[in-house]
Structures are given as C-alpha cells and as structure tokens.
Structure 1
Amino acid sequence: MGLDVPIVNAPMGGAAGGALAAAVSRAGALGMIGMGSSATAAQLRNELTHVSGLERPYGIGLVHWVMSAQPDLFEAALAARPALLAVSFGGEWSWVERAHDAGVPVAAQVADATAGRRAADAGVDVLVARGAEGGGHGEPRLGTLPLLAEVLDEVSIPVLAAGGIGSGRGLAAALAAGASGVWLGTAFAACTEAATPAGVRDLLLAAPADATVTTRLFDVAQEYPWPTTIPERVLRNEFVDRFEGHERAIDDETKAALAAAVVAQDFRVAPVNAGQGVGMVRAVCSAAQVVERLHTDGERLLRRWGQPDQ
C-alpha cells in the first residue's frame, strides 16, 4: 500500500474520524475512518470529506452487523475506493467478493486461529489478530502475543497485531514475532485530530493500565445488538461499579439516564473505550508525533535485537 511505517490506526467508532485518518496517513502510516455501532452512510460521507484529495492511502472500518442492517453504508464505503476496507465481527463473507470486484482489498479482525483460517479461506487479504487487551469491542479469548503466534502459524497472508500495543517496544515485539504491522486504537485516541471529547482525553491521560474492564453493560443499556461473545473493554466508572454482575437491574429509567449522560458527556456514567495500553498514553500529541515516536523507538529496539529495520 506504499506505507512508510507499519502502523494502522484502529477504526474506533466515535474517535477515529476522517481528520484522524488523514493525519495518520500523512504521517506515512495507514489512517482508518471508523464507523461504529451507530454509523450511517451519511456519517461516512461526511467523514470522507476530510480525506478528499489526500495523496496517501487510507482505509475504512465497518461493523458487520451494522453494515448488514444498512446496505447503503457498505455501498458508500465501496464507492470511496479505500486502500483497505475492514469489516469485523461477522461470520458471513459474501461482502469479500463484492469488495474485490470493486478493486478494494479487505481486512477482518480475528480472535483465534480457526477464525483466521476461515477468513483467509474466504479471501480476506489482511487479518487483524486482536488480543483480549484491546479497547472497545472484541472477543477476549487470547492475549495478543499468543494469538498472533497462532494466527501466523495458520495463515500465509499479512497479519496485524492488535491489543495493548502503545509503545515502540510493543511495535518492535510484534514485528519481531512476525506481524506485518500493528493496529493501534488507544494510542491514537488522545491525539489532537481524534474526535475524542476533551473529557475523555483527560480520563485517558490519567488512567493506569489496570483501569479497564471488559463488560456488556453499556451494550445492554443502549440496546445495541452486539453478540454476547463480543463485550467491550472500557474504563471502569460509576456505572460499571453499580451494575457489574447485575445486568437485569438495568431498567428503562437506567437506560434513559445513560442516554442523557452520553449526550451530556458525563463519563462517570457514559462509556469510555480503552485498551490495556492506556497506561502508556501520557500526553495529547498529534498523530504524526505518535507515529514518529513509535516508529523511531521501534526501529532502535529492532536494531538492538539484531532484527532488520521495518
């Protein structure tokens, strides 16, 4: 894809908009526009204005069940002709051929080696081995490094490592293990170009690595039809403390209170997605600064370890 740096920003719904994707791509990595649980074709077309005229490759990320419910969202993504289209969290693969017919390479997240083989057999071009440490939604089956090793042994297509990677050391470790690159979410969430609210940035900067929890509480309360096998990793807050283990206590009044908190950006109640790499997010930087820091530190460590530069 003509990348200078083996880094892809995860297409985080609500954070990874067109502005972040453009900044990451201009820095020599691959920027991804994220369309999350509440995505629409109109929202995607609005974010695409940020990459209009961009001379670097960029990608788009969709959630399979959202795309299936809104076929025009998939059509809008194909019409944009991204360098990579990632569609995750589904077991149906007819979209792969349609994307290829449009000349668009595709990626999918996997949580174990069996899923990796199925995706590769379906024609997926790039796999994202998303470990349990990752923020947002995912299947928390294996840690990133064990998962990466299993998937690499199972397939011959490029594999990106995801989950808990937020430093040059993590980048170097993934590359040394055989990954073609890394897929980073939390590391970019506090960037100046991200669509992250100021309150979320403050929480990310203050959070230690052990401040996250994997839960379905917010999906239940917001009535998002995520499968029970795909919870999300978020920063622990008052809502989690109150309802963890008590999902049946989430009534209509609670749902309304959560909806109001989301609108008011009250993150004592509203969710904040973050992976276990959050402890490495310590300053608000530009996307270019994050890419440069990780790449420079990663190359230095690879040289120390006797690995070729990437």
Structure 2
Amino acid sequence: MTLTTRLTTLAGVRHPIMLAPMGGSAGGALAAAVSRAGGLGMLGAADGNRAWLDREVPIVAAGTDRPWGIGFLTWMLDVAAVQRALEHRPRAVMLSFGDPAPFTDLVRQAGALLIIQVTDLEEARHAVDLGADVIVAQGTEAGGHGARRGRSTLPFVPVVVDLAAPVPVLAAGGIADGRGVAAALALGAAGAVIGTRFQATSEALVDPAIAKAIVDGRGEDTERSRLLDIARGSSWPERYTARTLGHPYLDRWRGRETELDAGARQEYQDDVARGAIPPLPVWAGEAVDLIDDLPSAEDLVPALAAQAEQALHRAGRTT
C-alpha cells in the first residue's frame, strides 16, 4: 500500500512526510536525503542568510533530483532574502512564526508551493485568506519554538483541517515514528512534518553531543520556556516559547525570567565560551522518547512510511 495524499500529489513526493525546516540543522545534506527517500526535504534557512544559502542550496540541488523546499522564520525575514532563495527554484517555501503576507505573492509568482505554518486558529484563518497551498498545524508538543498559548496536536489538527478545507493540512508536533504519521492521517491531515526525529540522523547539521542528547532524552525532560531565549540574547518575539531538553540555566532561573539582566546574559555567553554549557539549547519535542538511534535520513523516511502503513492496517482490522 502506498500512502497517497494531497501532499504527495501537490509536491510530487512518494511519502506524506515532510522534514521540518529547522533553522541551521536542516541543511542541504539532510534535505537531499529526505527528498531522495521520497519525502519533502526542507532547508531550514531561518532569516535567509546569504552565506548559509550559498553553501547549503548547492548541496541539496546536487544531492537530489526530487522536489525540495526552503523554510523561513517570517518574523526575522525580509523580501530580498525570499527573492534570493526563489532564484534556486525550490518546489516549496514554508513561512513560520510571523505575518507571511509580505512574502506570499513572491512565492506564488515563482511557482513554488506556499506552505504556511500556524499555531492557533487566528493564524489558520489568515493562512486560508492568503491562499496557502498547504497549512502546517503545529501543536505544542513540537520541539523548538511554538506558540506560548498554543494547543496540543491531537485536538488542534482536526480543527484546522475542518477550518481550512479543501486546503490540505499537515500535522506537526510530537511525531517521531510511523504511528505518529498514521495518527496525523487519521486526524484528516495530508501528512506529517517531523523535526526532532530528523535531528538525530547522520545527515543533520548538529553537534554530535546534541544528537546524543536527543537519543538519550525523555519526553518528561522537555520544557517550554522563553528563559533560554532571554538568557542567550535572542530576539524571538514574546509570543513564542521554545521546547528544549533540560538546561542548567532553566534550573537556575526558572520562574525568575525578569531577573535575567545584562550581567546574567553575559554570564551565559561566558559559560558558552568556556564550554560549561552547549552553544545552543537542545531543541526537542515530547516524542523524543521514541528516538533511540542515529540512522541515515534516507533510510528513515521509508521506514516511517512502512510503519505508518502497518499502523493504519492494524487500526482498520475488525477482529
């Protein structure tokens, strides 16, 4: 059985699995591996840094002849960055966290699929009004950044599916194996967006220590907070928190975010410089328990698809 959905048809991919465009860690090698395997590989371009794109786009372009895309953090984006990225002719562009309106016409005019990620129903309605080709409904179980007042994936996805119809919706947040992909399809989604699981692959642009932390991590060890953004001087908007694994600064400052003054932020940078804490938090979703190895993403995608097919078959049995 092949899982054919609106995503596979629209994007021209074999499996209803999309790589989350994780800023920095979803580079050209990872995106190419996911695409070669039949999923939709996405570069995590963040603000569209020219040097980063110039390095990573040739890798994905040379690594696959199948569809791939680029994802941006909309709140830190400018039109010039999108224009530069579109020169590489990605099959899809995903816009997340912020108002996508200034960039949607550019994406459509370039002939790329317009994918908009949403974290609440207001954003979902806005994405429909903007003419999104695909909407990603992100639940709070997701690793990395998401809405401070978001909703869990299980109840959020079907609400967005109903609101957005006939626009296809992808589920994101807490999906790390084929059973999660099957659950997304059962909720009415056209596929799943997967992040943390792909960070723990041989092609991901992450430090080996981060990959190991994900393999060793547990869901109950993850926590949503703005604290680490404040401590490291990141300018993420206040409405977005981030889910990470445990961190010394979470333990030290939990509940005292307002006390993180310039001196505390400098202390954080000093601790990074001397190797006392990692350069970046370990972004990880609640499904991190399901990750216990570091496979190639090219092997992982068909394995996830096969697991999803098996799960749907089991669910459909009457005896």
Q: Which bracket does the TM-score occupy, shorter chain normalised?
A: over 0.9
1:189 aligns with one of 174, 177, 199: 199
Name 1:93's counterpart in structure 2: 101
Q: 1:263 Cα deviation (Å)?
A: 5.5
Name 1:40's counterpart in structure 2: 49
Tell me if structure 1 keeps the 8 A contact 2:75–2:99: no
Residues 250-308 of structure 1: per-residue CA shift (max 9 Å, x gap): 2334323433454666546841101101111100111022212211111011122239x
Tell me if structure 1 keeps the 8 A contact 2:272–2:278: no
Q: 1:202 Cα deviation (Å)?
A: 1.2
Give percent identity, aligned residues only.
39
Written as runs of structure 1 = structure 2, the 5 A alignment for 1:156-175 is: 156-175=166-185
2:155 aligns with one of 123, 146, 150: 146
User: Could you tell me the TM-score, scaled by structure 2's length?
Assistant: 0.90
Change (3 A) 1:249 1:147: same
Residues 158-202 of structure 1: per-residue CA shift (max 9 Å, x gap): 100000011111111111111100000001011000001011011
Change (3 A) 1:194 1:263: farther
What is the total number of aligned residue pairs between the two structures? 304
Tell me if structure 2 keeps the 8 A contact 1:261–1:269: no
Q: Separation in 2 of the partners of 1:196 and 1:10?
A: 14
Whether 2:231 is the aligned partner of 1:221: answer yes
Counterpart of 2:103, as a letter, is W
Query: Cα RMSD over matched residues?
Result: 1.8
Q: Separation in 2 of the partners of 1:187 and 1:86?
A: 19
Q: Separation in 2 of the partners of 1:201 and 1:92?
A: 31
Name 2:90's counterpart in structure 1: 82
Q: Separation in 1 of the partners of 2:77 and 2:160?
A: 26
Residues 194-219 of structure 1: per-residue CA shift (max 9 Å, x gap): 00101101111111111110011122
1:287 aligns with one of 284, 291, 297: 297
Change (3 A) 1:176 1:264: farther
User: Could you tell me the TM-score, scaled by structure 1's length?
Assistant: 0.93
Tell me if structure 1 keeps the 8 A contact 2:113–2:133: yes
Name 2:4's counterpart in structure 1: none
Change (3 A) 1:225 1:301: same
Give structure 2 stretches of 5+ with no counterpart: 1-10
Residues 104-131 of structure 1: per-residue CA shift (max 9 Å, x gap): 2111111123321210111111110000
Change (3 A) 1:296 1:263: farther
Q: Separation in 2 of the partners of 1:265 and 1:88?
A: 31
